Amino acid sequence: MEIVPSLLSADFIRLQEEIRAVEAAGARRLHLDIMDGHFVPNITIGPFIVEAIRKITQLHLESHLMITNPEKFIEPYIKAGSDTVGIHVESSGDVLRDFDTIRRLGAKPGLVINPPTPFEKIETYLEFTEHLLVMTVNPGFGGQTMIKEAFAKVRLAKPYSRKYGFPIEIDGGVNIETVVDAKLAGVDLIVAGSAVFSAGKPYDNFLALTEKLQSA
Ligand code: DX5
Ligand code: ZN
């Protein structure tokens, strides 16, 4: 079980220092929130920013595509250096086709599900995915309150995760208290954006969240 810093709440003027801080604290992955102002009401990271990040870090880069027509942008985000590409079940017109495209281009496919979407919508895709991201907020912004009802989907996905070997990640509303809920739900990866970067001490914050996870 590990914390995955989301750069959404990082200081982008000092992005390299922010990344170095979480690397030094032990982060092994970075979560990149890709928003298009259409699927979600916010615009964030284009492929050229991912490319710039790729040049300065060896960490596993997971790109969380919160975009309409994700199939159009799989290739640019993989060429930019993404290791895992997550596709929302709510935005993909053909999940298995998108998974195939991602694999063919040399990255790992991930499936993402929003809080209001029922587990049944993803069930048939689970044997084909290499990563499952269960949203614990409605995507679009950092710093929201965790929707704990979403953990029910983590529990439903656990047998599939064990059978097929993919990790389960949650995303949204993680802080020093709610990180314990994520641990109890049995997730493998825990995205934390504002809890790592907003207070300006990403090294300390990452360590505090990790210690809480270990001691809880
Ligand atoms: C929400 C994003 C999250 C976000 C989490 O749309 O998908 O990855 O960065 O931010 P916090 O951890 O602040 O809830
Ligand atoms: Zn995200």
Domains contained in the chain, CATH given: 2-215 (3.20.20.70)
Catalytic residue, chosen from 36, 98, 171, 181, is 171
DSSP structure string for 2-32: EEEEBGGGS-GGGHHHHHHHHHHHT--EEEE
Q: Which ligand is nearest to the CA of 86?
A: 2
- Pick left, alpha or beta for residue 108 (phi over 0 → left; psi -120 to 50 → alpha; otherwise beta): beta
Q: How far is CA 12 from the centre of its chain?
A: 18
Helix (H) or strand (E) holding 164: helix 151-164
Per-residue pLDDT reduced to its tens digit, 121-146: 999 999 999 999 999 999 999 999 99
In the set 33, 36, 98, 181, the catalytic residue is 33
pLDDT, tens only, 163-213: 999 999 999 999 999 999 999 999 999 999 999 999 889 999 999 999 999
Q: What is the value of pTM for the model shown?
A: 0.97
